[in-house]
Amino acid sequence: MDYQEKKSIVNILSTVIVLGIYYWTVFQRFDAEVMNTEAQLQFWAKAILIAIPISIGTKIVTIILFVIGNFIVSREKHPTFEDERDKLIELKATRNSYIIFGMGFLSALIVLAFGYPPKYMFIAFILAGISSEIFDNLSRLYYHRKGV
Amino acid sequence: MQKHGIENNIRKLRFEQDEMTQQQLAESVKVTRQTIVAIEKGKYSPSLELAFKIAQVFNRPLEEVFTYNPK
């Protein structure tokens, strides 16, 4: 398994673990409180806004830990540059993740259009965000392994 | 497996160049070793620019390094 493949797997695991724990606590808090629609909207907007720096921080910490851990285990250094194949893989992975996020966004609107409470719309947004992140890394893994 | 119908003789040419390593070839054309591995296995078709650079390293015309065999 090469460096980029390992990095994608580590990114998927860290996204699932950190965002999974974060949103689990958010849902616990949401279920514990009684709120009107306006307060619900504010609650979910805050929850998603807080998730953004958490997600960025997780990525940074994961990369640092991965680079150090991987160097200790395999003596493999972090690549200092990206070549044309890396850029092409990144472009295709980003395209795939946008498609997944777009579908999630559409699902959120459909949920709202069918008259479900705003909670479900935000759940769809959150799932779209997490799945697009996972799909991005899965795509990288796939293209590195199977070719691009 | 050649994914794009483009075949190459890089492995053979490396051998003829005193067993040039994939890393050495990668450094000569400024790509990662993984890209050379992918090209050799036919999992990645290089850009025209990279293909010319590889041919230049072996001092061969492009068509001696890469051949196109549509299926």
Query: Which chain B residues contact residue A85 at CB under 8 A?
Result: 31-32, 34-35, 38, 44, 46
C-beta atoms of B3 and A3 within 8 A: no
When mean pLDDT is compared across A8-17, A54-63, A75-84, B11-20, the lowest value belongs to A75-84
What pLDDT shows up at residue B3? 65
d(CA A79, CA B34): 11
| Contact status of A83 with chain B (Cβ, < 8 Å) | yes
Nearest to A147 among B38, B46, B50 (CB): B38
pTM confidence score: 0.86
Structure confidence at residue A37 as a pLDDT band (50, 70, 90): confident
C-beta atoms of B44 and A147 within 8 A: yes
For helices A37-74 and A118-146, what crossing angle results, to 10°?
20
Identify the H or E element spanning B67: strand B66-68
d(CA A110, CA B28): 53
Q: Are the beta carbons of B16 and B56 closer than 8 angstroms?
A: no
What pLDDT shows up at residue B2? 62
Indicate the average pLDDT of chain A: 93
When mean pLDDT is compared across A66-70, A77-81, B43-47, the lowest value belongs to A77-81
- Please give the C-alpha separations between residue B33 and each of A48, A57, A81, A88, in angstroms, as whole numbers: 40, 30, 12, 16
C-beta atoms of B47 and A147 within 8 A: no
Q: In degrees rounded to 5, what are phi and psi of residue B8?
A: -145, 160
What pLDDT shows up at residue B20? 95
Structure confidence at residue B69 as a pLDDT band (50, 70, 90): confident
What pLDDT shows up at residue A11? 95
C-beta atoms of A85 and B41 within 8 A: no
Structure confidence at residue A67 as a pLDDT band (50, 70, 90): very high
Query: Which chain A residues contact residue B40 at CB under 8 A?
Result: none
Q: In degrees rounded to 5, what are phi and psi of residue B3?
A: -75, -30
pLDDT at A52 over 80: yes
